[in-house]
Structure 1
Amino acid sequence: MRSATARRPRSRPRRPRLLVHAALILFGIVMLYPLIWMLVGSFKHTSDIFSHPDLFAKSYTAKNYPAGWNANGISFGRYIVNSLIVVTGAIAGNLLACSAAAYAFARLEFRLKKMWFALMLGTIMLPIHVVIVPQYILFSKLGWLNTYLPLIVPKLLATDAFFVFLMVQFIRSLPRDLDEAARIDGCGHFRIFFRIILPLSLPALATTAIFTFIWTWNDFFHQLVFLTDPKMYTVPVALRTFVDSTSQTPWGPVFAMSIVSLAPVFGFFLAGQRYLVRGIATTGLK
């Protein structure tokens, strides 16, 4: 008969685990140091930011935030609202259009389906600089320049192939027996899509929404090309207006508004983090 001590599970040595945790904490601090430095710099005087590049300064000030908020004669809140409008339209467009296109590739049968799917994936490798000039000419003839339409309408046409592919992978993982049962009850493709596929695709939809929010919020190139009126600027373009190549740049207000602009991104990411991990883990992107 084995003794009681022999049946006890062996405890893992605590020292290696502590070393691993200490190394991870140190690595996290190193990764977060630029953000911490920018946060501290937002409370420094502009003259001290680069003369004392460490995390300490002779004095701190909170005036950078009101100065940056009201810079250029336009409230920074106006830029945040502009970005929220563009982001909301982009998220709605990608969720509706990309999910519909993904359902077609995953569930419907039509001619040259594999070829169209391959062409769709090929657009991921297409540089944006190749299509930006034709897009600019098209939107100029439509009279859409200096409006939000060039930044929102393309999302309604499922132009983000990455999200179409992500949802295709997720929908293919759903059992087709659900579709067959719905057809027996008299459902067509539209009812199957809206009542069965979309509710079950919540992780993939959340992943699409999070990535769309982050990429659209941080998009500088498209917004710079299509928006010319300062009142229509979004947050990335507005931050660029702080930088002046002919005179001294107010880095304190720049850092302050950069911190403000990061808050919605962190909030949206933390709110949907569990859906993001689940969506990536269940769409074949392992």
Structure 2
Amino acid sequence: MTAAATSASSAADRAARTRRPGSAYRRKATLSRVLFHIGMIVLVVVVLYPGVWLLGASIKPSNDIVGNVSVLTSEPTFDNFVTALSGIAGIPSLVFFWNSLVLAVGSVVGIVLSSTVTAYAFARIRFAGRGVWFNLMIGTLLLPFQVVIIPQYILFQKMGVIDTFIPLLLGKFLATEAFFVFLLVQFMRNIPRELDEAARIDGAGHFRTFWSVMLPLTRPAIVSASIFAFIWSWNDFLGPLLYLSSPSNYTVSLALRTFVDQTAYSDFGAMMAMSVLAILPVLVFFTVFQRYIVEGVATQGLKG
């Protein structure tokens, strides 16, 4: 009996020693997960705080916004939205939203038309100097916009198109957006060339191959480029500030500036309400098409 008890005790000790390392590992893993989730929650709070504060500020009185970092207010009011929607200088805010929408949609159309054709030429057509021209195009990404502001303004002024949407849209239709061309080129290069050869065997030329083969397969990258083009155009401030002078042509970004005047009364409440309204179209556009972003930016085409 003694030997049996000793053997049983030794077995129990061995089992306990075997369990202890596993138990310690589980406790350590649990602690790591808890710390990770706490860190992620803190990070989410920091990232979302400006947006939540903007929503709270949109229903605060103007004198309760500056210097107040609190999200909530004891005197909520929706008069800010009424003031924001009433517009400025007798022009309803819907005019500003329409102008921004025209520019954003026009930018998307221009970029998709010009960039897809240019990307197809660089990615699928062999011609003399293709590498040199492609490198020169990529080099334009290093050229600051401030360098070309004055020459462009003088050119459009001599054309007599200042205070119109033409200076803001013309470049989109001329394939000057190297970022989008590069994005589409990288996507198209991953599409098997056997598809082009099959189209040529069927008698298709470059246009037919581009329209019937490349465009459908490049849809994720095209949608991604459209999303970026829409958001960048909608949020653009410097371009409209340079070329638009009539309040009736103002975009939302320019209209926001008019609510703050350093020499007179500044309606910060209306500006916050207008900011909330300005974000909504971008959020809707992004929500509808966001599933294409990762797929398009990853530039992963079909694998042969």
**1:1-286, aligned counterparts within 5 Å?**
13-50=29-66, 52-72=68-88, 73-282=90-299
Higher mean alpha-carbon deviation, 180-189 vs 67-76, is at 67-76
Contact 1:166 1:283 in 2 (8 A): no
The residue type equivalent to 1:265 in the other structure is: V
Partners of 1:52 and 1:140 in 2: how far apart?
A: 44
Contact 2:183 2:299 in 1 (8 A): no
Contact 1:167 1:283 in 2 (8 A): no
SS of the residue corresponding to residue 49 of structure 2 reads helix
Partners of 1:207 and 1:257 in 2: how far apart?
A: 27
Q: TM-score if structure 1 supplies the norm length?
A: 0.92
Deviation at 1:22, TM superposition (A): 3.0
Q: Which runs of 5+ in 1 are unaligned?
A: 1-9
The residue type equivalent to 2:216 in the other structure is: P
SS of the residue corresponding to residue 274 of structure 2 reads helix
- Aligned-pair identity in percent equals 47
Higher mean alpha-carbon deviation, 174-183 vs 107-116, is at 107-116
Contact 1:204 1:283 in 2 (8 A): no
The residue type equivalent to 2:248 in the other structure is: K
Deviation at 1:133, TM superposition (A): 1.3
Partners of 1:137 and 1:25 in 2: how far apart?
A: 51
Contact 2:56 2:73 in 1 (8 A): no
Partners of 2:87 and 2:195 in 1: how far apart?
A: 56
RMSD over aligned Cα atoms = 1.7
The residue type equivalent to 2:57 in the other structure is: G
SS of the residue corresponding to residue 168 of structure 1 reads helix
Deviation at 1:90, TM superposition (A): 0.4
Contact 1:171 1:197 in 2 (8 A): yes
For 1:174-196, what per-residue CA distance to the aligned partner results, in whole angstroms no more than 9, with x for missing partners? Answer: 00000000000000000000100
Q: Based on CA coordinates, which of the two structures has the bigger radius of gyration?
A: 2
Deviation at 1:206, TM superposition (A): 0.8
The residue type equivalent to 1:216 in the other structure is: S
SS of the residue corresponding to residue 236 of structure 2 reads coil
The alpha-carbon distance between structure 1 residues 283 and 153, as it changes in their structure 2 partners (threshold 3 A), is: farther
The alpha-carbon distance between structure 1 residues 125 and 47, as it changes in their structure 2 partners (threshold 3 A), is: same
The residue type equivalent to 1:146 in the other structure is: D
The residue type equivalent to 1:60 in the other structure is: P
The residue type equivalent to 2:61 in the other structure is: H
Q: Which runs of 5+ in 2 are unaligned?
A: 1-24
Partners of 1:247 and 1:226 in 2: how far apart?
A: 25
The alpha-carbon distance between structure 1 residues 14 and 115, as it changes in their structure 2 partners (threshold 3 A), is: same
SS of the residue corresponding to residue 261 of structure 1 reads helix
Partners of 1:250 and 1:53 in 2: how far apart?
A: 18
